[in-house]
Amino acid sequence: MTDDRTVATAVLWEQSKAEVSQQDADMDSLRTRAVALLSVGTLVGGLFGSRLPHGHRPCYNVVGLIAALVLFGASVVLAVSIAWPREWSFGADRKPLVDGVADGTVTLALVNLSLAVRAEKNWNTNYSTMRRLYRLFAWLCAAVGLQVVAWAIALI
């Protein structure tokens, strides 16, 4: 029969696993959205760029064109920065636990608690990375939006 501590630590371990899994899913979603926004920027550039008039253009058209190209370049850098593989904390050193279980010095409650504590540390480590990536994503959204405006100015 299990005691309350074993059940409580099992619940903590399950909760910790779920939180790290959610972070991992958020990371995948963010990377997908960054690549999708880069695709939007590319489509906008292709659509607007193909309509640019040839010959002499007013100064504001040239400034709009330069701004659009710079913003597209910034979008590429931001999207690659978000999608680039990076260190991600999700595991734990289980050898001491395995050895302890094998020799009978470690209980199920201690295993669960140790894994839950490690998952919590992983979540905290990953949190700062996620915050930085979400800030980059906000800048990417702004760059793509401003790129559309710059292309429109280049065509007016």
pLDDT at residue 147, as a whole number: 94
Alpha carbons 82 and 32: distance in angstroms, whole number? 9
Radius of gyration of the chain (CA): 25
Alpha carbons 22 and 9: distance in angstroms, whole number? 20
Alpha carbons 102 and 116: distance in angstroms, whole number? 20
Q: Is the pLDDT of residue 57 over 80?
A: no
Question: Domains in the chain: how many in total?
Answer: 1
pLDDT at residue 148, as a whole number: 92
67-91 residues labelled b (16+ CB within 10 A) or e (exposed): bbbebbebbeebbebbbeeeeebee
Q: Is the pLDDT of residue 1 over 60?
A: no
The mean per-residue pLDDT over the stretch 72-91 comes to: 87
Q: Is the pTM of this model over 0.95?
A: no
Give the structural domain span for 112: 4-155
The mean per-residue pLDDT over the stretch 42-58 comes to: 80
